[in-house]
């Protein structure tokens, strides 16, 4: 069964200021643009791939930052019908899993993974892919039968 999904890499939405600090407003704008493009194309499955992001000794995002990023999806029309997998290589500060928990608390279908294949299997599970149009009602009409003459069988012995 075919699956159409969007892969969004960390470098496409994580923005840093010149001093290396996390730039929340620029990251939010980039993420909103990417998520909005998925929404316009009718793609309801996305993979946020942050494996290329190297976490430092301290968390880059505050709880408020994560909450703001989660709200970005709501602002562009993300619903519980969409699926978002967050793929990380390492999560020492539990920010990827916290993002997924905050999203799930809002009723969205989001999960964090450290394995690519598991993420794809989860994204493809329960996909509402329809290849045939829905069946239409078939009109049923009643045929009135006329009484038939009794059927006569020929008796071979009588001939």
Tens-digit pLDDT profile for residues 19-59? 888 899 998 888 888 877 887 888 889 999 999 988 888 88
Domains of the chain, residue spans: 6-128
Q: Is the pLDDT assigned to residue 97 strictly greater than 90?
A: yes
Q: Do the Cβ atoms of 112 and 100 come closer than 8 Å?
A: yes
CA angle 40, 46, 48 (to 5 degrees): 125
Are the C-beta atoms of residues 83 and 45 closer than 8 Å to each other? yes
C-alpha span between 81 and 121 (Å, rounded): 17
Mean pLDDT of 82-94: 93
Q: Which of 13, 44, 46, 47 is nearest to 115 (CA)?
A: 47
Whole-number average pLDDT of the chain: 80
């Amino acid at each position: 069964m075919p699956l159409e999904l969007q892969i969004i890499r960390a470098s496409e939405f994580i923005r840093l200021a010149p001093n290396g600090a996390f730039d929340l407003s620029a990251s939010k704008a980039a993420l909103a643009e990417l998520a909005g493009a998925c929404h316009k194309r009718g793609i309801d499955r996305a993979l946020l791939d942050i494996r290329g992001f190297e976490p430092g000794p301290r968390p880059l995002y505050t709880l408020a930052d994560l909450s703001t990023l989660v709200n970005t999806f709501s602002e562009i029309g993300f619903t519980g019908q969409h699926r978002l997998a967050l793929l990380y290589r390492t999560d020492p500060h539990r920010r990827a899993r916290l993002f997924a928990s905050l999203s799930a608390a809002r009723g969205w279908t989001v999960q964090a993974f450290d394995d690519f294949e598991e993420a794809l299997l989860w994204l493809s599970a329960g996909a509402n892919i329809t290849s045939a149009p829905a069946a239409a009602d078939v009109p049923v009409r009643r045929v009135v039968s006329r009484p038939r003459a009794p059927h006569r069988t020929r008796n071979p012995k009588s001939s």
